[in-house]
Every structure is written in structure tokens, then in C-alpha cells.
Amino acid sequence: MKRTIHATVWNEYRHELRHEAIRAIYPEGIHGAIAGFLRDAGIQAGTATLAEPEHGLTQEVLDKTDVLLWWGHMAHQEVEDEVVQRVYKRVMEGMGLIVLHSGHASKIFRKLCGTDSELLRWREANEKEILWVMDPSHPIVQGVPDHIILPHEEMYGETFIIPKPDELVFVSWFEGGEVFRSGLTYTRGRGKIFYFRPGHETFPTFLNKDIQQVIINAVRWAAPAAQPPQITLGQIKEPLMPIVGMTENKLSELYGEDYTLKG
Amino acid sequence: MKRTIHATVWNEYRHELRHEAIRAIYPEGIHGAIAGFLRDAGIQAGTATLAEPEHGLTQEVLDKTDVLLWWGHMAHQEVEDEVVQRVYKRVMEGMGLIVLHSGHASKIFRKLCGTDSELLRWREANEKEILWVMDPSHPIVQGVPDHIILPHEEMYGETFIIPKPDELVFVSWFEGGEVFRSGLTYTRGRGKIFYFRPGHETFPTFLNKDIQQVIINAVRWAAPAAQPPQITLGQIKEPLMPIVGMTENKLSELYGEDYTLKG
Amino acid sequence: MKRTIHATVWNEYRHELRHEAIRAIYPEGIHGAIAGFLRDAGIQAGTATLAEPEHGLTQEVLDKTDVLLWWGHMAHQEVEDEVVQRVYKRVMEGMGLIVLHSGHASKIFRKLCGTDSELLRWREANEKEILWVMDPSHPIVQGVPDHIILPHEEMYGETFIIPKPDELVFVSWFEGGEVFRSGLTYTRGRGKIFYFRPGHETFPTFLNKDIQQVIINAVRWAAPAAQPPQITLGQIKEPLMPIVGMTENKLSELYGEDYTLKG
Amino acid sequence: MKRTIHATVWNEYRHELRHEAIRAIYPEGIHGAIAGFLRDAGIQAGTATLAEPEHGLTQEVLDKTDVLLWWGHMAHQEVEDEVVQRVYKRVMEGMGLIVLHSGHASKIFRKLCGTDSELLRWREANEKEILWVMDPSHPIVQGVPDHIILPHEEMYGETFIIPKPDELVFVSWFEGGEVFRSGLTYTRGRGKIFYFRPGHETFPTFLNKDIQQVIINAVRWAAPAAQPPQITLGQIKEPLMPIVGMTENKLSELYGEDYTLKG
């Protein structure tokens, strides 16, 4: 029997409230639009936004979240460090994370990258984007064509200052002359991460059926396994070698508790 | 003409001062031993330690450092965040970083990893370690045998909670039954990083000629190029598409300076 | 609704017929043992062996195979090139392939690797092997512990002359001092490949529940997607640029049909 | 003291002889042009062509070649299998290989890839190509800008059916809407391989200073080390475990020489 996946869609939810043109595209907010198509695909999807207490990401919410989706743009600095740390801890434990569009500059993605991932080339010119599939065997691209044409998007261009991805799933072409690694996977701790570039707030990108399929696939891919291996950081069950060295060479009396720093 | 590489060897330098047995192995400190064999190889090597002002890692020192080597163990928490940030910034700019042994739990390595890289299995039992070369074509293993036997070392065992490495250079075997990914490369920003596992303070590991050769090779490999490509994050030199979108659809007046967050 | 996966377990099936001690472990052959536990896991599993016409791998059999498992050892050279080519073509189309133990030296694995993957260090000394999980988030290790102890196995040691794997799932420790990259994934064409080291014919390795779980997981992981992206190697559906160059600069009359070599 | 690198530039050398327009660009052939700028960079460069006996790639020539460059297009099938095997063997031993443009469909590159690397999307429309640097810290991109604009080139588009590259150095943008992984590295055996996309015979691509710099860098990067680790496939120098199993359990009398197949 297949488990039901619990997703939480987090959105800054500020552009939609301020600008009528954007609200016209996403009347329930970007989070509402994404949660809607996830539900249609049989995924149990809740939402959370910046303005809620603890940004809607309480420990209780995160504990029951299999996959967190993150859309943020203009207010990255307003996200509380404590909440970022809480999300980070859940990723380490195995929660999946889907980072969308300008979420590349969010505190949580930057922390997980360990590099200046907020840096990239960009231009808002309503130009055409074509996303090309790099790996047709990847679960994230099942049911989508080998390229997706978005008539209007914001441009993001290389060099994108990210760690080398575990897998390169999409590369984007932009009308103005740039390319961008648009679909990337990483593993951090036990958590699987997918960064997906498209989704500027002024365009109906999240209404595109192929974009929706990619996100649905990514949620399924990033959901933690029911039975991951238990990582045993102390002695293994059937120890092959007793810890004898310490007493013999008197290092234990030298060091005392210094070694509690590790693992 | 070949450039001279400037290395700085940073050491916590506490074990050596406290314990005579360790001082007997490294009379000039671990940093002194490492700087010594780097100089013999034609690398200009300075040193810096925790107790110095700014831990010896002033902006001036870092600015002229091509490759920083880092050995720390019991006092990771005493390293000032400001210095960590300064080192991080230099790695982004292209400074190489060699992280040795328990430096896996240092603030700087954890920040660059973006995962709980301080976690691993460990045991001090003076057991045998054999480092096996995974990639004989890698510059870091030139001039060394395909396996290096260390009669006595501390054990580190998997699962090591690190990001998937760009390159896996060594895997270690331990007498007690464990294995460990012992030689790993990463790229962060423009900086090249090498993590190298061996080097517990109670053993003369840094006096081993093969270990020395690996570290010398790693310093040469991690040194920044003289002429890296300039990353242009604004307009490209020969723009193919003017930025027209903003005015036309009035988004600029909607958003104002919000977009200065990016790049 | 979940699709049923069709697996075919191919075995050289020679050791079992020649040696009573091996037949005692695998009375139905290694292929029979593997097909048995796959069926228990709900996978539809058939078998094929070297002695059958076309080695049991007719086009018809391969066409309905989602995942092929391969065990061979002493008779790699007796596998017909035509059958190897047929298997290769199916991998390109998306058939999964699980290569077991000494299958590393099979014609099909060597062809897919593109390097001297038959080369490695080895020793038959009935020694202990411990397989350590490198990536606890990987689908192939779900439901298994973070290390698997096999009391007796043949040793394979590095340096294993393989292409850099897409993913490193297991590393083995051997009693005699060696390590080995024991669980590896690759993608070739649309096909997913998993190499899994253990399984010497003289030991009851395939009766071990954890080893069985890994192989069951691997079959599920390697099964082709129902709806992979169609790779369009000609013109894209909405051509952005007409093919005009040839006529204008008269290259078409120069080259004629030479270019039919490509794609 | 720095070693002199010996490169051999192999060219099909057919287009230049047949078509005046191409000869006008490359009066000494594509091989002559490449060998010329390599020599200017201090690399000792010879040439070899299809029409020569053994295609100019005798064992003697290959034995003294550190890095082989390969340009072929219309006559891949005319390259003798014996010569391909000879080149393959030298790559295993450590010779570097730079595969240019339509060399992606050559016998040697296909053999090293182990997948249908001849498949890709293509169009000859004299369109603009922009190569973007993915990894500014890579030795192959030193001294070049972060993007190279070629006003006219043949288009190659994804999905390119290649193994996942060890490193992704360049991605190309094409005027007509496609992208392509244009600069890729692989390791096979001890040999380093670089595939570089540009270089259609009808355009003066190899006269572009940045393209030349990339190729010069690639030759230096791919040259084998003076002292690679010796791969020891038999017993290790200091054996930790004697081979005792065979006699004790009588497997040796069962198997006889069957095991000579391995390594």
C-alpha cells in the first residue's frame, strides 16, 4: 500500500497582496495554486506563509511534513533564523525540500549550499525560456516533454555560484543569449533537495501543466523513504574491535572530555 | 614562469602545548611540521594559530594566501565567527582550502558543506588504517603508491554526513571493520577544497612521506589560477537583448528596489 | 495503479551444474534463487541461462523485460556478441540492468562502461566482507541496515577501473585490508544500471535477507518509467529557427548525404 | 623543471581537400591550424590523418603521445578497428584525449562512452553560439572570458546521449532555441578525456583566440602525470591476509584455471 505524502507549500505571499496584476494570476497566492495541483495529484498539501506566527512553520507542522516547497523573493531577510534552523534540522532528518525560482537566495537554500548561491545574472524582460531535459531517465521528468517552452519568464543566467549538483535535470535557454542550470538535485543529511528555476510572480508559470508535472514528480521523488537505514554513529552492533587503545597508551587521562565534540 | 604558491598553515595548537607525548612528535606544532615540508617542496608557507590575535588570520594574511590548511580538534567553538566569515569570503574569491582530520567539524568546513559534516563514527584504538587511491589520474595522488599504510591512527567511519563530493580520491580501510571516504574534493564559489582524513595528533602521521606528498600535491591543486574567468553578473559585454520589460509593463514602478537583493 | 515489473534473471549456470557444493547452496541455480525472492516481493521474474538458444535472451524476451539481472563468471567469452548488442540496445531504450558480482567482467558491462572494468584486485580466502551504506537517502538501501556483514565472501579490491559512478551506494571492507566500491549506479541512454559486488557462487550470499532487499530495491529503482520524455532528435515541435544556412552558403551541394551519419 | 608535452593532432582531413571554401579557412588543414597554435604555446605537436598508413597512429607514434586530439566527421566508419583499439589501450594507460566537435560520433569516443553518444539534435544554419563557463575554477577555462561568442556555428542540441560527465565545463546557447553540454570531462582507466563541441569545418572557429586557449588548457590538463600511482592488481606489498581458503575448502581443485579470466 502506498503512503500518502504530506507536503507543505511555503510562500512569502507578499507580491500577490500588493499587486493586482499578480493577484489576477494567483488569486489564492502562489502557495494556493501549487497546493491545489498537488492535491489534484493525490498529495496531501497544506500551506504556510511569512506573515503567520513562526511563518507557519512550527515544529509540529514540520514534523508531519514529508516535503516542504519554498517560494520567496523580496523578503528573504525577514525569515527568522530560528525557523531556518528548524527547517535545516528536518532536512537533515530526511524531509524533502523543493526550492522554487528566487528561493535560490533564501536563507535555507544558501545554508544548505554552503556557497554564494544567491549570485547569478538576471534580467526581467518577459523573454522566452525553454527548459531542456538533460536526463530522460530521471523520475522528475516523467510525463513531460523533452523541452518545455515558457513564452515569458524572468531570465536567470550563469555563472550560478552553486555547488556541483548531484544531478543536472534541466538546462534553460533564454531568448536574450543566456543559459542556466534550471533543475538541480542535492542530498544533505538524509534529505533530498530539488531546485527548480521557473516561477516568476508576474507570469502564470505555475499554471503550466508541464511545470506542474515536474513539481508533482519532484515532491514524490523527494519524499523520505519509509525505512531508511538507521545511521549508527557509535559502536556497530557486532563490534569487530574493542576500544582498547585509550587505556593502554594513557591518552584517555590526557584528553578527558575533549572528544565529546565529535559525532 | 611558474608562480610561487603562498600557503598558510592554521593550527589550533593546543594539544601540543598540553601534552608532552604529542609535543615529542611535533616539537614545532603540527603547523610547524606541515609548513616545514611544504617549504622543502618550494611552497612559501606561513603559519597561524588560534591564540594569535584574530587567530593569525587577518585580512592582510588571507589576502596574500593562495591556499589555507586547517587543523583543529578540541576548540572549534572558540574560533570567532568573524574570522570564519573572512575565510569563507576568501574561498568564494578563489583561495584554496585543505581541511585536515578533525577539521571536518570546524565551523568553516561545516559552513562550506551545508550539512552535518561533523557527524561520523569514530574510535581511538591505535588501529591500522590503509588509504586506497580511487582515481589514479588525479593530480593529488601523483608520486604516491596506490595505497598508504598507517600503522596507527584514530578511526573515522561511515556514514559520514557530507555532501556528495565532486571527486572521491581516497577511501580508508580500518582494522576494526569500518571504511571512510578519506580524500574528497569540493568546489565552492571559485575556491577548491580538499578534505583529507588522517592526522590524529597522537601519531606521527604528518611525518609520513606519502602523506606529505598528498598534502603538497593538494596545495598545488587547490592554488587559484592566475587568470580565472571574470564572472560578469550584470549585463554581458555584447548584450543580445536590451532590458525593456520593466518599463513596458510597469513592473519597475511596482517593485522599486526590491530586486537589489539579487546578484 | 502500480505497474507490475517484469524482471529476467540471467545466469551463466555452470558452476552449479559442475560442483555439488555449489548446487547444495543453490539447488535451482543462482538464477532460481534470485527469481524466487523477487517473486515473493511481487515482481514478475523469469530466468534465462547461457545454454539456452540465444542464451534465453531473444528479442521477444528482452522486449517484455523491464529489468535484466546478470550473473556470469567463467564463461563471459561464450556470450554471443549479437546477444550482447541486443541487450545493449534495450538498455539504450530504457531497460534497467543489475550486474552482479563477477558480471563486472561481462561483455555487456564492459561495453557500457567504456573502460577496463574487468580489472580489479581479488582473492578467494573466505574472508569477512562488510558493506557500508554511503547514501542513506538512496532508494536502493531502504529497509536495510547501514552496514551488512557477510561472514564469508570472495574479496574484490581497488583500484577498480570503472568510470566515475553517478552514485556511490556501498563501499565494502574486507578482512584482508582492502576496500571496494561495491554498489554503483550509472545511466546509459535511458537505461539505469546498478552494479552490486557480492555474490560469489560458493557462499550463500543471495540467501541473505539484506542482500535480497538491496536487489529487490534495485529492480524497482531500475525499472523504466511509464512515461519518459520522448527524445526528439530532429526539429523541435515549434521551431525557432528555420534551416536556412545550407542553401545560402551552398554547403548543401558541397556535402550531399555526408551528414546522414549524425543522429 | 617542467616536462614538454607531446600532442598529436589527428584529423580526417577530407573536407579541406574537397572544398575550396574550407581550404581557404584552413589551408594546412584543421590539424595544421591546431598544431600551429599548440606549438606557439610551447607544446610539441605532431599531426596524423586518415589517409596515412595506420591513419598515422602507429604504436610508435601513440607511445610518445601524451595527448591525442581527434577531429573527424564524415568518415568515422573508415577508421580501422585495430587503430581504435590501439588508441583505447593508450587512454587506459594514461594518454589524454581531446575529442572535438563531430568527433562525438567517432568510434573511439563511442567506445569510451559506452552509450549512443553519436545521437543528438543538430542543424546547420550558420547561427550564433554562446559558450558559457559553468565552473570558473576549472583549469580548462583559465585565461578565457566567462562566455565565448561564436557568430556562426553548426547547432548541436540536447538531449545528448552521453554518460553523466565527471565535470561540466561549458554549456552552449544557440540562436535557434537549443542548449548543449559543450565542454565535458571524463576519466577512463588512467586517461583523461575532454569533449569540446565547437569546430565545424565551414567556420573559422579554430582561429578564435579563446577557443584556442581552451584547447591549449585542455591539452595541459589531460597530459598524464609523470608519477601516477602504480596500480597493483595482485597481492599488496604487505599482505594482511594469506590466501588460505582455496586449499582448505577444496575449491581450488574444483575450479582450476577458470579464475584466470579476472584481472
Report the percent of chain D where pLDDT is more than 90. 79
Q: What is the pLDDT of residue D225?
A: 86
Mean pLDDT, residues C106-119 taken together? 95
Measured in angstroms, the CA of B131 and the nearest CA of chain C are apart by 9
Which band of pLDDT confidence, cut at 50, 70 and 90, is reported for residue C42?
A: very high
Query: Where are chain C's structural domains?
Result: 6-222
Q: What is the pLDDT of residue A2?
A: 65
Which band of pLDDT confidence, cut at 50, 70 and 90, is reported for residue D201?
A: very high
* Type and span of the H or E element at C157: strand C147-157
Interface residue of B12, B118, B124 to substitute, partner A, most A CBs within 10 Å = B124
pTM of the model: 0.92
Which tens digit of pLDDT belongs to each residue from C146-190? 999 999 999 999 989 999 999 999 999 999 899 999 999 999 999
C134 in contact with chain B, both atoms CB, cutoff 8 A: yes
**More confidently predicted of D248 and D26:** D26
The mean pLDDT value of chain D amounts to 88
Chain B residues with beta carbon closer than 8 angstroms to that of C159: 132-134, 136, 146
Which band of pLDDT confidence, cut at 50, 70 and 90, is reported for residue C220?
A: very high
Q: What is the pLDDT of residue B2?
A: 65
Which tens digit of pLDDT belongs to each residue from D202-214? 999 999 999 999 9
A245, pLDDT greater than 80: no
Which band of pLDDT confidence, cut at 50, 70 and 90, is reported for residue D261?
A: very low
The nearest alpha carbon in chain D to B96 belongs to D137
Q: What is the pLDDT of residue A230?
A: 77
Quote the cell numbers at residue A19: 499587486
Beta bridge partners of C7: C45, C67
C23, pLDDT greater than 90: yes
The nearest alpha carbon in chain A to D168 belongs to A164
Which band of pLDDT confidence, cut at 50, 70 and 90, is reported for residue A62?
A: very high
Structure letter (DSSP) for residue B2: P
Instruction: Answer positive or negative: Cα dihedral of A8, A13, A15, A21.
Output: positive
C41, pLDDT greater than 80: yes
Q: What is the CATH number of domain B6-222?
A: 3.40.50.880
Report the percent of chain C where pLDDT is more than 70. 87
CB-based contact C124 D175, cutoff 8 Å = no
Q: Would you say C229 and A145 are in contact if contact means Cβ atoms under 8 Å apart? A: yes
Q: What is the pLDDT of residue B65?
A: 98
Chain D residues with beta carbon closer than 8 angstroms to that of B171: none
Q: Which residues, 6+ apart, have CB-to-CB distance to B29 below 8 Å?
A: B11, B13, B16, B47, B49
D243, pLDDT greater than 50: no
A185, pLDDT greater than 70: yes
Q: What is the separation, in whole angstroms, between the first and last Cα of chain B?
A: 36
Global ipTM: 0.89
**More confidently predicted of D162 and B237:** D162
Measured in angstroms, the CA of A108 and the nearest CA of chain B are apart by 10
B240 in contact with chain A, both atoms CB, cutoff 8 A: yes
C127 in contact with chain B, both atoms CB, cutoff 8 A: no
Q: What is the pLDDT of residue A233?
A: 61
Mean pLDDT, residues A238-258 taken together? 39
**Calculated CA dihedral for residues B90, B92, B97, B103, nearest 10 degrees:** 100
Which tens digit of pLDDT belongs to each residue from D68-123? 999 999 999 999 999 999 999 999 999 999 999 999 999 999 999 999 998 888 88
A120, pLDDT greater than 90: no
CA angle A175–A176–A177, rounded 5-degree value: 95
Report the percent of chain A where pLDDT is more than 70. 87
CA angle C239–C243–C246, rounded 5-degree value: 170
Measured in angstroms, the CA of B176 and the nearest CA of chain A are apart by 5
C73 vs D94: CA distance, rounded Å: 28
The nearest alpha carbon in chain C to D166 belongs to C164
Which residues of A, range 3-42, sit inside 8 Å of C by Cβ? none
Interface residue of A15, A116, A128, A180 to substitute, partner B, most B CBs within 10 Å = A116
Q: What is the pLDDT of residue B257?
A: 38
Q: Would you say D188 and C163 are in contact if contact means Cβ atoms under 8 Å apart? A: yes
Mean pLDDT, residues C211-218 taken together? 98
Q: What is the pLDDT of residue D226?
A: 82
The nearest alpha carbon in chain C to B133 belongs to C159
Of B149, B192, B225, the CB nearest to D238: B149
The mean pLDDT value of chain A amounts to 88
D23, pLDDT greater than 80: yes
**More confidently predicted of D39 and C125:** D39
CB-based contact D230 B146, cutoff 8 Å = yes
Which tens digit of pLDDT belongs to each residue from D110-158? 999 999 998 888 888 888 999 999 999 999 999 999 999 999 999 999 9
**More confidently predicted of C208 and B241:** C208
Q: What is the pLDDT of residue D180?
A: 97
Q: What is the pLDDT of residue A234?
A: 55
CB-based contact D137 B230, cutoff 8 Å = no
Measured in angstroms, the CA of A247 and the nearest CA of chain D are apart by 26
Numbers of helices and strands, H then E, in chain B: 9, 9
User: How would you write chain D as a 3-class SS string?
Assistant: CCCCCEEEEEECCCHHHHCHHHHHHCCCHHHHHHHHHHHHCCCEEEEEECCCHHHHCCHHHHHCCCEEEEECCCCHHHCCHHHHHHHHHHHHHCCEEEEEHHHHHCHHHHHHHCCCCCCCEEEEEEEEEEEEECCCCCHHHCCCCCEEEEEEEEEEECCCCCCCCCEEEEEEEECCCCEEEEEEEEEECCEEEEEECCCCCCCCHHHCHHHHHHHHHHHHHHCCCCCCCCCCCCCCCCCCCCCCHHHHCCHHHHHHHHHHHCC
**Residue C177: CA atoms inside 13 Å, Cβ hemisphere, count?**
20
Quote the cell numbers at residue D195: 569533449
Q: What is the pLDDT of residue B249?
A: 35
Which residues of B, range 62-121, sit inside 8 Å of A by Cβ? 73-74, 76, 92, 102, 105, 111-116, 118-121
CB-based contact A135 C225, cutoff 8 Å = no
C255, pLDDT greater than 60: no
Mean pLDDT, residues A35-48 taken together? 98
The nearest alpha carbon in chain C to A145 belongs to C229
Which residues of D, range 156-185, sit inside 8 Å of A by Cβ? 157-159, 164, 167-168, 171-174, 177-179, 181
Q: What is the pLDDT of residue C123?
A: 86
Which band of pLDDT confidence, cut at 50, 70 and 90, is reported for residue A248?
A: very low
Q: What is the pLDDT of residue A43?
A: 98
CB-based contact C173 B172, cutoff 8 Å = no
B128 in contact with chain A, both atoms CB, cutoff 8 A: no
Q: What is the pLDDT of residue C234?
A: 56
The mean pLDDT value of chain C amounts to 88
- In the chain, the amino acid numbered C180 is F
Which band of pLDDT confidence, cut at 50, 70 and 90, is reported for residue D228?
A: confident
Q: What is the pLDDT of residue C121?
A: 87
What averages of pLDDT result for each successive group of 10 residues across chain B (263 residues)? 87 94 95 98 98 98 98 96 98 97 97 93 88 94 94 92 97 94 97 97 96 98 89 54 36 37 32
Cα separations in angstroms, B67 against A199, B190, D238:
40, 12, 35
Cα separations in angstroms, D46 against A127, D56, D86:
47, 10, 18
